[in-house]
Amino acid sequence: MNNRFLLTRRHIIQLVFEMLVGGIGTAVTSRFINFNNQLQARDNPNKKFATDGKFSLKERAAIKDLIYGAAIQYSQLLSDRELANQVKCECKMLVPEWELKWFTGKQSLRPSPGRFDFGRADWMANFAKAHGLLFRGHTLVWHEALPPWFQNTVNSQNAEQFLEEHIKTVVRHYAGKIHSWDVVNEAINPSDGRSDGLRKTPWLKFLGSDYVELAFRFAAEADPQALLVYNDFGLDYDTPENEAKRNAVLKLLERLKSKSTPIHALGMQAHLQGDKTQFNSKKLKNFLRNVAALDLKILITEMDVADKNLPVDIKVRDRIVAATYEDYLSVVLDEPAVIAVLTWGLSDRYTWLSEFQPRRDGARVRPLPLDANFKRKLAWNAIARAFDNAPHR
Ligand code: XIL
């Protein structure tokens, strides 16, 4: 009997559970069959992701001249001593999840048109320095996290002045203390219908398609030493949307390089989905190679693996999440231009996916290397194994 349809005891229990919770229609159709057909093939109960725990992720990465780090919020780092200890133990790089965006609520970087509040980001930069971590900035230009005053203040006449003032003030403030900047974030969205693939954002509306080049030039003037990165998501899978995005991002990078724009790297956010099966290592490898051929480095900047559509069984979820980390990283780390891997968070206790991609069953999501009690998971093993198996830079 084809074991894809073998109804193991676990599956029967799950099916009954889903019938009780979601009703027969829900249980029998989408999730269970979806799991059985597509995900069981991905879940290898015999795969142990064996590795020793002797060396941390930062140590394993460093052996291959790679960098491992994580995005963390100021409030979490300040209030959670265990988190701070784990960041020191596992990470070589720290990126503020919120604090270098224009606006993320109270005590933001840009509380008003004429003000910059560096308090929180400075505290994080000092934390990084005190503990020998590299510090990276996210993000100077984005269509999200804009302050409430932006809409009524910035317009076509003054947008370039606001762009230049923001970039130069912030980049100068951290000049010499920053490893890299996400200068422009998520500027490509092919479904907006433009031939250049640019996302229709306020910056595009006010400044035209050259705003991306302008941003990089302002950043380079402010800190000639910083690695300047274009950062985006949706570049990972063998789907029409991701293919279109890869092509449009490559076109943007080629255009920028053809104009000698001071851009040094592509940031691939790598927000992956544990239930997504359209993973084509050849296409991904080819994209990485095409980016590297532009004399650009590559950073994996916001990696996590969403488990919202995976079965509730933690053992199954953790195995599939770990396999997704290992499959993806084994491909990207084969590309010598890849210099860093950052996860968007370090522990399941603090992940944006709890809010942005919650599970319908209400179970805590498990997308990151450490669980909510900072215990290493199979995902940690998978990242460790990927670093161990990566070629030396
Ligand atoms: C997310 C933060 O993690 C959330 O806490 C916030 O509410 C929204 O932004 N891509 C990015 C990040 O570049 O800045 C986003 O961070 C996640 C998606």
Residue 93 pairs with which residues in a beta bridge? 69, 134
| pLDDT beyond 80 at 17 | no
Name the active-site residue from 90, 213, 302, 326. 302
Binding site membership of 103 for ligand 1 (Cβ less than 6 Å)? no
| Identity at 81, one-letter amino acid code | R
Residue range 273-298: average pLDDT? Answer: 97
Residue type for 39, please? L
Q: Do 357 and 79 form a contact (C-beta atoms < 8 A)?
A: no
pLDDT digits (tens, 9 = 90+) for 316-335: 999 999 999 999 999 999 99
Tell me the pLDDT tens digit for each residue of 136-167.
999 999 999 999 999 999 999 999 999 999 99
Distance CA 284, CA 235 (A): 8
Mean pLDDT, to the nearest integer, of 21-32? 50
Cα atoms found within 13 Å of the Cα of residue 32, Cβ hemisphere only: 23
Distance of alpha carbon 145 from alpha carbon 97, whole angstroms: 12
Report residue 38's pLDDT band, with 50, 70 and 90 as the boundaries.
Answer: low
For residues 391 and 28, the model is more confident at: 391
Active site residue 302: yes
Name the 3-class secondary structure at 14: helix
| pLDDT of 27 higher than 80 | no
Average pLDDT on 234-254 reads 98
Q: How far apart are CA 70 and CA 51, in angstroms?
A: 21
Backbone angles phi, psi at 42, to 5 degrees: -85, -20
- Which residues lie closer than 8 Å to 144 by C-beta, 6 or more apart? 101, 185, 186
Please give the torsion angle defined by the CA atoms of residues 249, 168, 70 and 285, in that order, rounded to the nearest 10 degrees: 20
| Under 8 Å between Cβ of 65 and 392 | yes
Tokens linked to 24: 């027969």
> In this structure, which amino acid lies at residue 58?
K
C-alpha of residue 51 to centroid of ligand 1, in Å:
31
Q: Decide: 351 in ligand 1 pocket, CB within 6 A.
A: no
- What SS3 class is residue 333? coil
Between vectors from CA 184 to CA 260 and to CA 67, what angle results, nearest 5°?
90
> Would you say the C-alpha torsion 11, 378, 271, 387 has a positive or negative sign?
negative
Instruction: Report the nearest atom of ligand 1 relative to the CA of 185.
Output: 13
Residues of the chain above pLDDT 70, percent: 90
Catalytic pick among 186, 213, 326, 335? 186
Q: Which residues contact 210 (CB under 8 A, 6 or more apart)?
A: none
Mean pLDDT of all residues in 19-43: 55
pLDDT, tens digit, 9 for 90 and up, residues 173-213: 999 999 999 999 999 999 999 999 999 999 999 999 999 99
Q: Please state, in angstroms and as integers, the Cα–Cα distance from residue 44 to each residue in 238, 320, 321, following that order.
A: 22, 8, 12
Q: What pLDDT sits at residue 37? A: 60
In the reported structure, the alpha carbon of residue 345 is separated from the centroid of ligand 1 by a whole-number distance in angstroms of 11
Q: How far is CA 300 from CA 57, 107, 149, 156, 303, in A?
A: 15, 28, 32, 34, 7
* Residue for token pair 């020191």: 88
Residues 87 and 70: beta-carbon distance below 8 Å: yes
Distances (CA, A) of 247 to 183, 197, 290, 304: 20, 9, 10, 23
Predicted confidence (pLDDT) at residue 274 exceeds the cutoff of 60: yes
∠ at Cα 120 (117, 125), nearest 5°? 115
What CA–CA distance (Å, rounded) separates 223 from 217? Answer: 10
Nearest-CA residue for atom 15 of ligand 1: 97
CA distance 99 to 118: 8
Does residue 97 have its Cβ closer than 6 Å to ligand 1? Answer: yes
Q: Is residue 367 within 8 Å of 358, Cβ to Cβ?
A: no
Strand partners of residue 72: 96
The two tokens of residue 78 are 């300040």
* Cα 97 to averaged position of ligand 1 atoms, centre (Å): 7
Q: Residues 18-28: what's their mean pLDDT?
A: 50
CA distance 52 to 18: 37
In this predicted structure, what is the pLDDT of residue 20?
52
Tokens standing for 243? Answer: 């293919």
Closest CA to 352 of 85, 106, 145: 145
Is 165 in the active site? Answer: no
